[in-house]
Structure 1
């Protein structure tokens, strides 16, 4: 049977209560996209930082309902929640009987990061004629990111260039597990994934199992993590937590161990460079769009 899709643009601050209200009104699925990005491959949901929420100013929200859902009632619900939303800003369309999530996912194509690393959605089979290709299977639209956001892309590119063979890697703020899985596929012996959201740990475990690397991935909440120094650390979170975590990251790493930090907006790197200079050398700033990666080595 056909379905009814409702869509509108909301402020990120309204996300939680609007999403909850739509689910209570019978929404079968809710999709969140960055309203300020135009190309589908760049509109996957940003991996939240440790203790943080996505930093988008506006979110394009779409919700799927039974075709006979009360449209007028949904409009009243949303305008009561957000008085500054005009009824004409709430859009409806009929969706033909199909796998709605799969149809949305079909927009996404494989993405390459660096020389070897690729992310493929599960509905596309990778070619078999490139023996050097490293394939991570991950579907777009997961709540913790897929690699399309510049912060994650910067980290994936860095991992592709790193010497990971036989190394123990810490992925702090692991989200969907995309960085941890990529590190394992690129040769790391073991990855320790850390996130303060239990749902992120479940997502990381599930995605690691899909990529046949779950046996080499250890997952922890921050307070449960106690580990001997690792060989490499990557953290795709936000500038505030990165500044606070600098001493802990220093304790987590062997001397000369590489580190990469992302989730940093252009302009925020100066304070972080000063913060990390106490324990790290060779600090380098790399930018993509409005985002920054800082890399260096433990002194």
Structure 2
């Protein structure tokens, strides 16, 4: 089976509305791209992981709509233009899209990832390169954290360099649950994960089951009602973003047991000092490592605190 893509270049103020209208007019899917991609005017539309872009589209946007091969593309574009109040339908080009094994093509983009000294993150359709390594079977999904981002790598490398057999670990902002699983596979005793996203919690639980890891995952409100509600942990790791990390300084610091460690990432190198200052009243943090402009901060709570 084949399809036809309709390609329309529009101003930013029309991109989102036109996308919705094309779907209503019969398009199968719609995406918005930077029309200046590959030129000096190309502009990235993203910030830190998990942040929503402040703009919904590019100044010069390219709307790409997938349609059935036998659809009347001119009618679809005309209906969409009328629906959003454009006086005349925008000009468009078309291009054929041949049928492919999309699952296989998508899977081919994801290879096993080697992290630290002995950790491999392996998609389910690959064999582990080193069966004797610490293997995490993890498929790319909706929850953040597959080991590909520098912040996730930094936290995983810290956990590998500081194994804590039998100790308690809290992964706050757990996403896919990858950090909690690393801690568990490295011998940690009780491991808990918390995330505000129900879909992340569902994903983390599925991943833990697949990797034979006994981990408790909670939404914050459930965590507050759990047996861990007042617990202080030997290791607290939070890979989130600098702004929420600063706001959560009293709470996260209060979760660290005396003599325990706090590990933070999701922090750009230029943000390290201000994040450390937010935690200074509770625990002294310093940069443990840096990778591609991101840092992991680490500190140890003094005994008796």
TM bucket, shorter chain: 0.7 to 0.9
Asked if the contact 1:136/1:185 (under 8 Å) is kept, the reply is no
Deviation at 1:283, TM superposition (A): 2.4
1:289 partnered with 2:292: yes
Task: Look up the match of 1:221.
Answer: 219
Query: Which one is further off, 104-113 or 235-244?
Result: 104-113
**Counterpart of 2:181?**
181
Q: Work out whether residues 5 and 95 of structure 1, in 8 Å CA contact, stay in contact via their aligned partners in 2.
A: no
Question: Distance between the aligned counterparts of 1:206 and 1:9, measured in 2?
Answer: 41
Instruction: Return the offset for 1:127.
Output: 3.7
Residue in structure 2 matched with residue 169 of structure 1 by the alignment = 169
- Alignment match, 2:112: 110
Contact 1:105 1:141 in 2 (8 A): no
Q: Distance in 2 between matches of 1:165 and 1:260?
A: 17
How many angstroms apart in 2 are the aligned matches of 1:15 and 1:191?
45
Superposed displacement of residue 185, structure 1 = 1.9
SS in 2 for 1:269: helix
Q: Compared with structure 1, are the counterparts of its residues 201 and 94 closer, same or farther at alpha carbon in structure 2 (3 Å cutoff)?
A: same
CA distance in structure 2 between the aligned counterparts of 1:275 and 1:201, rounded to whole angstroms: 28
Q: Displacement, 1:136?
A: 0.5
**Conserved 8 A contact 2:22-2:30:** no
Indicate if the aligned counterparts of 2:169 and 2:233 stay in contact, CA closer than 8 A. yes
Q: CA deviation at 1:142?
A: 3.6
SS state of the match for residue 255, structure 1?
A: strand
> Equivalent residue for 2:40?
none
1:9 and 1:177 map into 2 onto residues whose CA distance is 40
Name the SS of the counterpart of 2:257 in structure 1: coil
**Residue 219 of structure 1, CA deviation:** 1.4
Worse-matched range after superposition: 220-229 or 266-275: 220-229
Does 2:241 correspond to 1:238? yes
Secondary structure at 1:293 match in 2: strand
**TM-score using structure 1 length:** 0.74
Q: Over aligned residue pairs, what C-alpha RMSD do you find?
A: 4.3
**Partners in 1 of 2:290 and 2:83 — Cα distance?**
42
Q: Does 1:121 align with 2:128?
A: no
The equivalent position to 1:268 in structure 2, one of 268, 271, 284, is 271
Q: What CA distance in whole angstroms lies between the structure 1 residues aligned with 2:215 and 2:19?
A: 32
Displacement, 1:168? 1.7
How far residue 196 of structure 1 moved from its aligned partner, in angstroms, is 0.8
Contact 1:175 1:200 in 2 (8 A): yes
Q: Give the match's secondary structure for 1:260.
A: strand
Q: Which moved more, 1:218-227 or 1:193-202?
A: 218-227
CA distance in 2, matches of 1:79, 1:185: 58
Is residue 110–residue 123 contact of structure 2 (8 Å, CA) maintained in 1? yes
